[in-house]
């Protein structure tokens, strides 16, 4: 992982560092920025005149200057046009520009065949006026996130790390402003998102229920949160019929686990716990309702919700956030086999409700039902909020693609808080309706409910199912099927596991803390 650092001043002439500058597209602002850069490193006249570099989004320019007798690589990266005050979410868009430009600069630097170990990014203060803009600290964190997460690769298994960057450090130079707490925050956030991405991208022969639980436990010891692991026997004693049914086909080799994470920060602002739940299907073959083989390998990432919960705990604990946080993660494989659950089987969730398993590929909701029932029982006096994250439905991917997480829930306040955190982090969520009219699609002739709702509104009927087990807890469900498993690279995430949810939830928690402390 990249080392992150802050610099008080730009380094003098050196060939050990690549220098990057972020440049706005707006003519006046660009001219201003280029003039300031030129004071530090001599820019060729056509560049200075704004001819060869316009500052567009995704645009980068690599320059070689002779700086006091030494070659110096300079990168300009475009910030694009800032969103106008009248545009929706302008503040959020503008902050994202910094993340994306920083990622572009980092990727360009990594491509340059340089031996430099450090990428220095100069971050200008006071661009673009006040109201419509994020704070300097937010911008700095964003620039760290963009560069460090943009260089993330899952290359642990590559014998020959082709084109691997020689960069080891990203150092930011805040040009004329106070960095605040940006360095500490960025280090924690980047390492926590990386932790979640590594868990998601690791193949299912490495990350299975027991090994996932072990890794989280180890991280808990280091970062400062408690992890309790229930094994198959305990799960069975607790009557968690959903988890037992889904794991039935995999029992022999990879038995299920149920883990509970707990972190109580110093003088927590919440009295009742905030509970986060993550779907932890370490491989989803579909079970007897077997998936087609095309893209089935992606289903090693069907534990991305669980990874997001683990990453959020790492971050919350390392930031010592003053919150009381509980995490609940059911872990299982979903496999076919002689002992596997069959379509038509009727099972009993731990709260007593019966479910007809119409489709064994609708497994996530079965294990989440046990998780929600467990929370209801364990906290009879209620919780502040229950938020579940799950790669739950292909239907959600059809509806929203990879740029928005589907959100449904029963509590307006929690929904709105997540919406806000989504804008701030650009891990955006989009609400879908949870009208009671959809409920009848899950009616079963032989059990209290069936687990699949048919062809239409799949993301919604999945949430309707969960609602039955959330009872009257203030509950929000995040369907991250499209946003956690990227089919295409994003500005600061390669194809594959994105670690989505970590930045979103940390921001959500931070906002809660901020408000109470203000
Ligand atoms: N893990 C899948 C959902 C999924 C699909 C996530 C594609 C990411 C990409 C989930 O367990 C599943 O198979 N859902 C079924 C539900 C259906 C059988 C009611 C689906 O979406 O097809
Ligand atoms: Mn499935
Ligand atoms: Zn699944």
pLDDT digits (tens, 9 = 90+) for 165-185: 899 999 999 988 889 999 999
Centroid of ligand 3 to alpha carbon of 220 (angstroms): 26
Is residue 428 exposed (0-12), middle (13-18) or buried (19+ Cβ within 10 Å)? buried
Centroid of ligand 2 to alpha carbon of 190 (angstroms): 30
The catalytic position among 91, 300, 365, 512 is 365
- Report the pLDDT value the prediction gives residue 517, as an integer from 0 to 100: 54
Which residue from 382, 383, 369, 361 is spatially nearest to 481, judged by alpha carbons?
361
- Ligand 1 is surrounded, with C-beta below 6 A, by 284, 302, 359, 361-364, 391-395, 397, 452, 458, 481, 485
**What are the domain boundaries of the chain?**
3-177, 222-493
Q: Give the CA-trace dihedral at 422, 500, 162, 97, to 10 degrees.
A: 0
Which pair of tokens denotes residue 88? 């929706």
* Strand 226-230, strand 274-278: pairing: unpaired
Give bridge partners of residue 444 from the DSSP assignment.
none
Q: Please state the φ and ψ torsions of residue 333, each to the nearest 5 degrees.
A: -100, 155
Residues of the chain under the 50 pLDDT cut = 518
Centroid of ligand 3 to alpha carbon of 362 (angstroms): 7
Centroid of ligand 2 to alpha carbon of 282 (angstroms): 11
Distance between CA atoms of residues 198 and 396, nearest Å: 24
* Strand order through the sheet with 449-450: 346-348, 354-356, 449-450
Which class is 222-493 in CATH? Answer: alpha beta
Produce one character per residue of 263-290: b if its CB has 16 or more CB atoms within 10 Å, e if not: bebeebbbeebbbbbbbbbbbbbbbbbe
Residue with the smallest CA separation from ligand 1 atom 3 is: 393
Which tens digits make up the pLDDT trace of 290-312?
999 999 999 999 999 999 999 99
pTM, two decimal places: 0.97
Centroid of ligand 1 to alpha carbon of 517 (angstroms): 41
- Report the pLDDT value the prediction gives residue 516, as an integer from 0 to 100: 58
Q: Which residues touch 516 (CB under 8 Å, ≥6 apart)?
A: 269
- Which of 285, 361, 398, 400 has most ligand 1 atoms within 8 Å of CB, for mutation? 361
Residue with the smallest CA separation from ligand 1 atom 5 is: 394
- Report the pLDDT value the prediction gives residue 187, as an integer from 0 to 100: 98
Give bridge partners of residue 280 from the DSSP assignment.
331
Residue with the smallest CA separation from ligand 1 atom 19 is: 452
Which pair of tokens denotes residue 3? 């080392």
Which pair of tokens denotes residue 50? 């704004």
Distance between CA atoms of residues 396 and 416, nearest Å: 20
Residue with the smallest CA separation from ligand 1 atom 14 is: 393
Helix, strand, coil fractions of the chain, as percent rounded to 5: 40, 20, 40
CATH architecture of the domain formed by 3-177: 3-Layer(aba) Sandwich (3.40)
- Which of 393, 485, 500 has most ligand 1 atoms within 8 Å of CB, for mutation? 393
Centroid of ligand 1 to alpha carbon of 302 (angstroms): 9
Residue with the smallest CA separation from ligand 1 atom 16 is: 362
Residue 452 CA: which ligand 1 atom is closest?
Answer: 19
Catalytic-residue membership of 25: no
Which value, in Å, is the radius of gyration of the alpha carbons in the chain?
24
Produce one character per residue of 449-461: b if its CB has 16 or more CB atoms within 10 Å, e if not: bbbbbeeebbbbb
Look up tokens 């990594």; give the residue. 110
Which residue from 268, 185, 275 is spatially nearest to 517, judged by alpha carbons?
268
Residue 453 CA: which ligand 1 atom is closest?
Answer: 19
- Which of 394, 465, 481, 488 has most ligand 1 atoms within 8 Å of CB, for mutation? 394
Look up tokens 């970062």; give the residue. 223
Centroid of ligand 3 to alpha carbon of 391 (angstroms): 6
- Report the pLDDT value the prediction gives residue 518, as an integer from 0 to 100: 44
The catalytic position among 48, 264, 291, 348 is 291
Look up tokens 């959500």; give the residue. 508
Catalytic-residue membership of 314: no
Which pair of tokens denotes residue 92? 């959020």
Distance between CA atoms of residues 327 and 385, nearest Å: 12
Residues 124 and 136 sit within 8 Å (Cβ to Cβ): no
């Amino acid at each position: 992982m990249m080392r992150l650092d802050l610099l008080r001043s730009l380094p003098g002439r050196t060939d050990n560092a690549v220098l990057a500058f972020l440049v706005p597209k707006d003519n006046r602002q660009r001219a201003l920025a280029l003039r300031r850069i030129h004071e530090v490193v001599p820019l060729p006249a056509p560049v200075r005149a704004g001819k060869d570099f316009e500052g567009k989004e995704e645009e980068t320019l690599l320059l070689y200057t002779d700086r006091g007798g030494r070659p110096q690589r300079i990168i300009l990266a475009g910030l694009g046009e800032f969103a106008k005050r009248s545009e929706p979410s302008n503040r959020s868009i503008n902050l994202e520009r910094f993340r994306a430009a920083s990622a572009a600069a980092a990727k360009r630097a990594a491509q340059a065949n340089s031996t430099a170990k450090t990428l220095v990014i100069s971050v200008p203060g006071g661009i673009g006026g006040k109201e419509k803009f994020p704070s300097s600290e937010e911008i700095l964190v964003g620039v760290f996130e963009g560069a460090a997460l943009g260089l993330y690769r899952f290359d642990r298994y590559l014998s020959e790390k082709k084109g691997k960057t020689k960069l080891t450090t990203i150092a930011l130079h805040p040009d004329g402003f106070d960095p605040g707490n940006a360095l500490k925050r960025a280090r924690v956030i980047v390492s926590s998102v990386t932790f979640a991405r590594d868990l998601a991208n690791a193949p299912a022969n490495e990350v299975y229920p027991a090994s996932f639980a072990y890794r989280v436990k180890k991280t808990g010891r280091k970062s400062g949160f408690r992890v309790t692991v229930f094994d198959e026997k305990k799960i069975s004693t607790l009557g968690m019929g959903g988890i037992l049914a889904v794991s039935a086909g995999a029992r022999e080799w990879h038995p299920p686990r149920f883990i509970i994470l707990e972190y109580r920060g110093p003088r927590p602002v919440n009295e009742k716990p905030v509970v986060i739940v993550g779907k932890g299907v370490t491989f989803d073959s579909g079970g007897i309702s077997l998936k087609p083989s095309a893209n089935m390998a992606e289903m090693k990432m069907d534990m991305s919700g669980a990874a997001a919960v683990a990453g959020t705990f790492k971050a919350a604990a390392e930031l010592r956030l003053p919150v009381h946080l509980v995490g609940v993660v059911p872990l299982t494989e979903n496999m076919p086999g002689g002992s596997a659950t069959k379509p038509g089987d009727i099972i009993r969730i731990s709260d007593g409700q019966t479910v007809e398993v119409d489709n064994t590929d609708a497994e996530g909701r079965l294990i989440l039902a046990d998780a929600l029932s467990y929370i209801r029982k364990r906290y009879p006096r209620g919780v502040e909020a229950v938020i579940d994250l799950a790669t739950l439905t292909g239907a959600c991917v059809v509806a929203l693609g990879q740029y928005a997480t589907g959100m449904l829930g029963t509590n307006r306040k929690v929904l709105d808080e997540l919406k806000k955190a989504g804008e701030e982090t650009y891990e955006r969520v989009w609400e879908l309706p949870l009208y009671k009219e959809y409920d009848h699609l899950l009616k079963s002739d032989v059990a209290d409910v069936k687990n699949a709702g048919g062809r239409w509104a799949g993301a919604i009927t999945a949430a309707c199912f969960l609602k039955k087990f959330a009872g009257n807890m203030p509950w929000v469900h995040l369907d991250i099927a499209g946003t956690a498993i990227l089919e295409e690279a994003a500005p600061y995430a390669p194809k594959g596991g994105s670690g989505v949810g970590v930045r979103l939830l940390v921001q959500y928690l931070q906002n809660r803390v901020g408000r109470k402390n203000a």
